[in-house]
Amino acid sequence: MTTAHAAESGVRGHILVVDDELSMREYLELLLHREGYAVTSVPGVKPACEVLARDGVDLVISDMKLGTGSGLDVLRTARARKEPPEVVLITAYGTPSAAVEAMREGAYDYICKPFDNEELRLLVQKALEKRTLRQENITLRARLLPGLGVAVGQSARMQAVWSLVEKVAPGRSTVLVTGESGTGKELVARGIHMRGNRAAQPFLPFNCAALNEGTLESELFGHVKGAFTGALHERAGLLVSAGEGTVMLDEVGEMPLATQVKLLRVLQERKVKPVGSAAEVPFQARVIAATNRRLETEVKAGRFREDLFYRLNVITLELPPLRERAGDISLLAGHFLSRMAEELGRPGLRFAPETLALLERYAFPGNVRQLQNMVERAATLSDSDLLGPSTLPPAVRGEAEPVARPGEGGEPQLSGGFNLERHLDDSERRYLLAALKQAGGVKTRAADLLGLSFRSFRYRLAKHGLTDELEDPAPVRSGE
């Protein structure tokens, strides 16, 4: 008999519970309903298939053994749906082979009996987060792809990049995207993902510089229960949980050498070894790496493994800084302003000609991301639909030097007593403080504005005695 709980306001998702034991179904219904989920429970494979065919289901939680069928039958039916739900299987302790088979067929994860409420709650939350990401990718594909070429730019160099994106998107070869911070590396990586046959699968960006070595490996490769303090249950890493989607390794040049060794092996064998486990788990995801460093230089300096560099460098897309494609600035600014006009419900938003002229003269050390943030700020704070020069930051209005064009600008006038090192130190300190101020105290954003890696930014803060200026933000998975 099917039991359906009516969704209350604020329902967080629809979960289908499949178990042939009434007591287990009632327990899961009560637990999940208290967490704010709409729950439907059924006793076997046939009614589960009927619910999947009829209702919108976000997550399936099924026992592996179901009398006349199995959880694998439910999994296969769920995976065949046009918009498949995530699937978590419940297994008896000591039956890892069945669980591994389920993971290979596309299950999000499994949980062993007996389990506690918190373990299940966290697993459900993570599974639904993954589904949300996949749905967002589909939505982005529908909304963003028609204008993605415009968003990236129409200069000759960016058109060449985009032409290469179209060529590499259908394959699964590793791609390395290089360029200064803010040039649009994640946008291009997402474009590769959405132009290929993986668009309906997750796109998972991950910042390799945001976590320490141990946590980094756990996030990428997964871990088994008890592998370290706080490992309450077994967890698949990003490479496995992405399914047939794409994992973007942002700031790969910041990855510790010990982790580089493991990543090389993973990419060569297409298998991961979760932290604390002796068993290897295959994965199907495509890997796209990104960096704002010159990896060839890092290899020569001994900070990056040469063999990993060649493994990542199968196909390279180099994104030029915005100052080298100034013809794209007005185009990009107009694109971002159109998006803000739609978001704010102000279709009359437009730039004054002198505002665009100032933007085109500015160096944009933070590249496209800085331009986007600048446009969003101007559109949000302006009382008028006509965005004049006063809506731009002081640096853009002329209080900082605009970008020097080839053949422009005179030689600096020097006099006795000039100290270049002191002058450079003073300038660096001012830029650090200005970036912190513009980023609202968020150091990762300030580093991006200056085109620096987070580690390099922290080093410069310490050099100038600015380490206590502001607290660091909490680590995040995706790089900006």
Q: Do 138 and 269 belong together in one domain?
A: yes
Q: Is residue 411 part of a domain?
A: no
Which residue did the predictor score with more confidence, 292 or 136? Answer: 292
Q: What is the pLDDT of residue 477?
A: 41
Task: Identify the CATH number of the domain in which residue 35 sits.
Answer: 3.40.50.2300
> What does the pLDDT average to over 252-276?
92
Same domain, residue pair 165 and 70:
no
Domain shared by 182 and 239, yes or no:
yes
The reply to whether 238 falls in a domain is yes
Provide the pLDDT for residue 58: 93
Q: Does the pLDDT of residue 363 top 80, yes or no?
A: yes
Give per-residue pLDDT as tens, 374-423: 999 999 988 899 999 999 988 888 754 444 444 444 455 555 455 566 66
My answer on whether 282 and 234 are in the same domain is yes
Tell me, yes or no, whether 449 lies in a domain. yes
Location of structure tokens 């993986």: 198
Determine the structural domain holding residue 427 and report its residue range: 324-404+420-463
Pair 184, 312 in one domain: yes
Region class of 421: left (phi > 0), else alpha (psi between -120 and 50), else beta: alpha
Number of H helices, E strands in the chain: 18, 19
Q: In this structure, are 19 and 111 located in the same domain?
A: yes
Residue ranges of E strands in 47-121: 59-63, 65-66, 69-70, 86-92, 109-113
Radius of gyration of the chain (CA): 26
Domain boundary residue among 115, 140, 165? 115
Q: Which of 320, 353, 378 is the last residue of a domain?
A: 320
- Our CA dihedral for 320, 361, 191, 187, rounded to 10 degrees, sits at 90
Determine the pLDDT at residue 374. 93
How many domains would you assign to the chain? 3
Answer yes or no: is pLDDT of 252 > 90.
yes
CATH classification at residue 435? 1.10.8.60
Residues 277 and 335 in one domain: no
**What confidence score (pLDDT) does residue 63 get?**
93
Residues 169-219 have pLDDT tens digits of 998 899 999 999 889 898 899 989 988 888 888 999 999 987 777 788 888
The pLDDT score that the predictor gives to residue 50 is 92
Per-residue pLDDT tens over the stretch 434-447: 888 887 777 888 88
215 and 274 fall within a common domain: yes
Q: Could you give the dihedral angle defined by the CA atoms of residues 433, 437, 440 and 443, in that order, rounded to the nearest 10 degrees?
A: -20
Shared domain for 336 and 314, answered yes or no, is: no
- Whether the model clears a pTM of 0.85, i.e. scores above it, the answer is no
